[in-house]
Amino acid sequence: MQTWVDAVLVLVLLLNFMALSAGRLRTLIRAVTVQGVLLGLLLALARGKWELTVLVMAGATVILKGMVIPRMLFHAVREVVIHRETEPVFGLMASMLLGASGTVMALLFSGTLPVVHGNIGSLVAPAALSTVLAGFLILMTRREAIAQVVGYLILENGVFVFGLLLMEAIPFLIELGVLLDLFVAIFVMGIIIHKISREYSSVSTRMLSELKE
C-alpha cells in the first residue's frame, strides 16, 4: 500500500510543477483538477481499509475537487475573463525554479520536523509542505484573479495532504466541514470575481492596491 501512496504523492508533486509552469488558465485549472482527483484516491489508499466513511470522504473529495470546483472555474474563464493567461509577475521558469528549491528544502527539512510518520510513508510531510509552498508561490506571482483562486486551492490541497498524517485524530465530521468550507470559499470567490469583472472590466489584482492608507 505504501508504494502506491508514494507513487500518488510523486504525481501530486509533479502536478505542482505543472501548475507552476502553466501559462494559460485552462492548463492551470486542469492541473488542479487532476490533483483533486488524486487526493481523493490518496485518502482511500492511505487508510488501507475500505470503510464506509473513508469511501464517502474520498468520493466527496473527488466530486468536489475534481468536478464541481473545476466546472465553476472553467465557467468563470469562459464567461468572465478576457485575458486567458495567468499574468505571472516574473517568468514561468523563475517560479518553476523557486518551486523546485522549495520542494528540495521541504525534503531536506521535513526529516527534522517533529512529525509522526506512522505507516503511510515518509513522503507525506515533504509533499504537503512543497504543495503549500507551490500554492503560495502561485498566489504571490500570478496577477489574474482566477489564478489566485487556483493558488488557494493548491494551498488547501497541501493542507489536505498534511491531514493524512492526522487521519486517526481528525473526526469524519471535521473533514467534511473543511471540504464544505473550501467549497463555499471558492463559490464566494467566483461570485466576487464575476461582480468585479462586471464593474471594472478587469480582474487583475494589480488594480487592488488602493486599500493601503
Partner 1 sequence: MSSALVLTGLLLHAVSGIPGWVFRGYRDGGQRLSVWLAGAGSVLGIIGCLAALWHPPPSGPFLRIDGLAVVFLLPVFLIPALGAIYGTAYWRQNDHPGNGCRLRLFFGLMTAAMGGVTVACHAMVFLVAWEIMALSGFFLITTEDEDRVARAAGLLYLIVTHIGTLCLFAWFALFHLLTGSFALEPIADGIASPAMLTVLFWLAVVAFGCKAGIMPLHIWLPGAHATAPSHVSALMSGVLIKIGVYGLVRALSWLPGVPPLWWAGVLLALGAVSGVVGVVLALGQHDLKRLLAYHSIENIGIIVMGLGIAVAGRTLHQPVLLVLGLAGALLHVWNHALFKALLFLSAGSAIHATHTREIDRLGGLARAMPWTAFSFALGAVAICGLPPLNGFVSEWLVYLGAFHALGIGQAKSWVVAALAAPILALIGGLAVACFVKAFGVVFLGEGRSPEVCGAREAGLLMVGPMLVLVFFCVLIGVAPIVVVPVLDAGIRAWALGEPELVSLSSLARLGWISLGALALLALCGLLGAGLYRRIRCGGVVRSVTWDCGYAAPTSRMQYTASSFAQILGSVFAWVQRSQWRKPGTMPVFPDKTRFRGHILDVVLDTTVKPAFRSAVRFLSSLRFLQAGNIHAYLFYIVAFLIVLLLWKGAA
Binding site for partner 1 (CB under 8 A): 89, 105, 108-109, 112-114, 129, 133, 136-137, 139-141, 143, 205, 208-213
> Do 186 and 124 form a contact (C-beta atoms < 8 A)?
no
Q: How far is the CB of 102 from partner 1 (least distance, A)?
A: 8
Q: CA-CA distances (angstroms) from residue 194 to 14, 55, 80, 112, 150?
A: 31, 34, 6, 44, 16
Q: How far is the CB of 63 from partner 1 (least distance, A)?
A: 29
Residue among 33 and 141 whose Cβ is closer to partner 1 = 141
Residue among 8 and 137 whose Cβ is closer to partner 1 = 137
Residue among 140 and 191 whose Cβ is closer to partner 1 = 140
Q: How far is the CB of 129 from partner 1 (least distance, A)?
A: 8
Dihedrals φ, ψ of 88, to 5°? -70, 150
**Sign of the alpha-carbon torsion through 182, 184, 187, 191:** negative
DSSP-based three-state secondary structure for 118: coil
Residue among 9 and 132 whose Cβ is closer to partner 1 = 132
Q: How far is the CB of 179 from partner 1 (least distance, A)?
A: 23
Q: What is the 3-state secondary structure of 71-105?
A: HHHHHHHHHCCCCCECCECCCHHHHHHHHHHHHHH
Q: How far is the CB of 89 from partner 1 (least distance, A)?
A: 6
Longest dimension (CA), the chain: 55
Residue among 103 and 141 whose Cβ is closer to partner 1 = 141
Which residue has cell 492511505?
46
CA distance 203 to 213: 22
Q: How far is the CB of 176 from partner 1 (least distance, A)?
A: 27
Residue among 33 and 148 whose Cβ is closer to partner 1 = 148
Q: CA-CA distances (angstroms) from residue 29 to 1, 74, 182, 183?
A: 29, 8, 16, 15
